[in-house]
Amino acid sequence: MQRESMEFDVVIVGAGPAGLTAAIRLKQLKSDCRVCVVEKGREVGAHILSGAVIEPRTLTELIPDWKARQAPLHTPALDDRFYFLSPHHRFRLPLPPELNNKGNYIVSLSALCRWLGKQAETLGVEIFPGFAATELLYQNDGSIQGIVTGEFGVDKNGEKGPNYQPGIELLARKVLLAEGCRGSLTKDLIQRFRLEGDCPQIYGIGIKEVWEVPPELHKPGRVLHTIGWPLSPHIYGGSFLYHFGEDLISVGFVIGLDYKNPTLNPFLELQKFKTHPFIRSQLEKGRRIEFGARAVNEGGFQSIPQLEFPGGMIIGAAAGFMNMPKLKGTHTAMKSAIVAAETVHHNLYQGKDLSYKKELSKTWVWKELYRARNIRPAFQKGLWWGLCYSALDSFLLRGKAPWTLKHPMHGDHGSLQKINGCKKIEYSQPDGKLTFDKLSSVYLSNTNHVENQPCHLRLQKPERAIEINWKEYGSPEQYYCPVGVYEIIKDEKGDPRLQINAQNCVHCKTCDIKDPTQNIHWIPPEGGGGPCYTHM
């Protein structure tokens, strides 16, 4: 069965904030521009997860009348608080200028993307949800000429079933990769064209729950961040609690994936965090209604890759436009998409030869990320050094230091220590009311995959799972995965084997990042699989 093909002017991979912004801007500039957006989630917004407090400046630039169009920005940020936690107490700290959220909004980013999708479709953008981009199409000269969507109806043995459908070739004059953090096509393309930045990208894992609480506990517009307990001073991370919507609180925990102890369990760190008296008091009378997890870029300015490749561009979180000190990346991702769309328009239709990177470097995005560049790497020496340097950089130097700190060149996976040199971290059992296990959390992510399909978590050398990961590192994948995808099973002789529960996967990409020998390769499953977020 031959693949069908369709032709467009621009194909965009990913219906997140950046992908949809680029599509909208292209149609604003030229209404008859043929624009297609492919999205691996079963609907627009299904795979979108963020805190999220957003700066509306880029949304206002893109759609000035967004309020009249009823964009889902309903909760202005009104009350910023920043705390250091000890095991039983809290200490309010001076608010860093980067965390001043006056004029910003607490939102569900998945809801915002659904709204952006409707704005794009109104302009004539063709959006294909439930279609994963699994392959790049190359011309004879090596440039990209389009993408191929994934097949349907292939069974777990790789055989074509009775309902088999081949992928579709989507050909384009330009391809924009807006896959988000650690996109599979972007990862392969950066390696193929050697587009790496000055430093390797580094990452964190963000784990989030949405709680519904009694009205008397809800403080609309409150934005709360914490550092300290339960993490040791040598681990980068912290929490957020955002009061938004109708009696909802977003509770999240972000941990840098450059941690060393292979038994650290990010999911259980979040559960432990909720037992702090201050946090417990805000949640224990409520109920958890949603759960999700996603990797986040932390590398900042030093880790931005080359943004252009023959035939296309990398935009949004796929390129790492995250301002880590602000804990925000939506506004920068959307602005990068506007600049990319305008560059494509000028080059395709006005005969110009503009550089996307050069045009972006003229904007406030470049200046903002440059000023923030030294904060995250300062925490390599621990919490106290990082806080001291951050205060110096933010209040005195204001991001204009005559030096640029670097990230380690080995990447996050290279930071893991061998299991023999580490003390196993012990965690309490969940109570099912305030703290929970991984399997009940998967249920609240609305995750679903077609069961009889090839495993989308590929071990390049399966024997390494036991010979290296288990014997040398204690199988860290069973700890860092937030939804129990990786499980060590022992037979009657006590010999271990790795079991992969791929149906649990929420597409956070942590395994693709943190595996110590980079043996786990995440690829998109059959289109439409994965979580289906509503409040994330």
C-alpha 362/C-alpha 353 separation (Å) is 16
C-alpha 3/C-alpha 365 separation (Å) is 40
Residue 60 annotated to the active site: no
Beta strand pairing call for 144-149 and 169-177 = antiparallel
**382 dihedral zone (left: phi>0; alpha: psi -120 to 50; beta):** left
C-alpha 375/C-alpha 390 separation (Å) is 6
- At residue 504's C-alpha, the angle toward residues 500 and 509, to 5°, is 80
Active-site residue, from 36, 199, 508, 532: 508
Active-site residue, from 33, 113, 181, 505: 505
Residue 505 annotated to the active site: yes
Active-site residue, from 90, 288, 294, 373: 294
Residue 199 annotated to the active site: no
Active-site residue, from 330, 336, 390, 445: 330
Residue 92 annotated to the active site: no
Residue 294 annotated to the active site: yes
Residue 239 annotated to the active site: no
Residue 36 annotated to the active site: no
Quote the tokens at residue 341: 């769309």
Active-site residue, from 263, 481, 510, 532: 481
Residues contacting residue 95 through CB under 8 Å, at least 6 positions apart: 80, 81, 82
The closest alpha carbon to 436, from 227, 289, 324, 316, belongs to: 289
SS3 at position 75:
strand
Active-site residue, from 36, 113, 511, 532: 511
Could you give the C-alpha distances from 201 to 190, 197, 366, in angstroms and in order?
Answer: 11, 8, 17
On the 0-12 / 13-18 / 19+ scale of CB atoms within 10 A, 162 is exposed
C-alpha 279/C-alpha 348 separation (Å) is 53
Q: Say which residue the tokens 């099973």 belong to.
A: 489
Residue 52: cis peptide before it, omega within 30 degrees of 0: yes
C-alpha 206/C-alpha 510 separation (Å) is 10
Active-site residue, from 21, 50, 390, 441: 50
Quote the tokens at residue 494: 């006590």
Is there a contact between 247 and 214 (Cβ–Cβ < 8 Å)?
Answer: yes
Is there a contact between 77 and 106 (Cβ–Cβ < 8 Å)?
Answer: yes
Q: Catalogue the active-site residues.
A: 50, 294, 330, 481, 505, 508, 511
